[in-house]
Amino acid sequence: MEILFELLVPVLEFLAEIFLQVAFEWLAELGFRALRAPFKSERETSPEFAAVGYALFGMAAGALSLLVFPSSFVHSPVARIVNLVISPVIAGMLMAVLGAWRRRRGQDLIRLDRFAYGLLFAFAMAAVRFFFALHGS
């Protein structure tokens, strides 16, 4: 019985390594699809992948903005929370207005030209700035 166990353990370890690698590759593939999704037409990708992609791009934009503007423009703690909620809503509304303007002119639209996707991108960016920007009193 002990010999069988000694033979079985390396096989199980090997299978666990394969499973781990495949699982991480699958997650990476999903992540890359999500990053690519915002650049595809609405017929080519699902709204879920596009949403994840826009959230990731929003977080990246927030991180990049910290390189240029490391301090928060809003210093009051209460105002920073209000800004975290209000600014993305306004940004989403402006993106919807821009999308309507493009639609009237017959231009191609991307999902970011809609309120919800604009809000998601802006909220992800604002959240990164909220948590990582330097703030004074």
Contact in structure between 50 and 111 (CB atoms under 8 Å): yes
pLDDT mean over 20-32:
61
CA dist list (Å): 70 to 2, 65, 106: 61, 7, 39
Sort 96 into a burial class: Cβ within 10 Å, 0-12 / 13-18 / 19+. middle
Please write the tens of the pLDDT for every residue from 105-121.
Answer: 998 888 888 999 999 99
d(CA 137, CA 125): 22
**Which helix (DSSP H) or strand (DSSP E) does residue 29 occupy?**
helix 2-36
Please write the tens of the pLDDT for every residue from 46-60.
Answer: 888 889 888 998 998
R_g of the chain, CA atoms, integer Å: 22
d(CA 53, CA 8): 42
Contact in structure between 53 and 35 (CB atoms under 8 Å): yes
Tell me the whole-structure pTM to 2 decimals.
0.74
pLDDT mean over 26-34:
65
Q: What is the mean pLDDT of the chain?
A: 82
pLDDT at 104 over 80: yes
pLDDT at 61 over 80: yes
